[in-house]
Amino acid sequence: MRTRLYVIWDNMKQRCCNPHKSQYKNYGARGITVCDEWRKSFHSFRDWAMENGYTDNLTIDRLDPNSNYCPENCRWITNKEQQRNKRNNVYLTCNGVTQLMQDWADQTGLSPSRINLRIKAGWSVERTLTEPIHVSMVRHSK
């Protein structure tokens, strides 16, 4: 029986070692590999996983997203945490504070798409994050 952990192990190897897989371009083609210990032995990977907090609600994450899958560079985190550790995340600095666009959105009540539109329209980060949304008055005919 293929367990969830086995599937994680197999997918990790495929995206790093199989150029025919769609995710290879983001992993193997960038030089990201799986350490020999894990690549050659599911049991070795499983033992590491169980000793390092694996549960069925967690995903494998690389601390340095530009480095390899190996015990020194991997951990188990939630999917929500995983989404915060992506290469395409956007960081903004406002008044000396740098954080993810999503964090600014949560803090200001603006949607990430509105923040992005304002930045693309040439607004400064400070103006983008501090100017309220202007709602036009809609007149109703009677």
Residue-wise pLDDT for 112-129, tens only, equals: 889 989 999 999 999 999
8 A C-beta contact, residue 98 and residue 92: yes
Beta-carbon contacts of residue 90 (< 8 Å; ≥ 6 apart): 100, 101, 116
Least Cα distance to 16 among 8, 7, 6, 24 occurs for 24
Token pair of 100, please?
């993810």
| pLDDT mean over 17-30 | 96
- Range of lowest pLDDT (5-14, 30-39, 103-112): 103-112
Q: What are phi and psi of 130, to 5 degrees?
A: -110, -20
Residues pairing with 14 in the sheet: none
pLDDT at 136 over 70: no
Residue 21 confidence (pLDDT): 96
User: Model pTM greater than 0.75?
Assistant: no
Q: What mean pLDDT is predicted for residues 37-55? A: 98
Joined tokens for residue 18: 């199989």
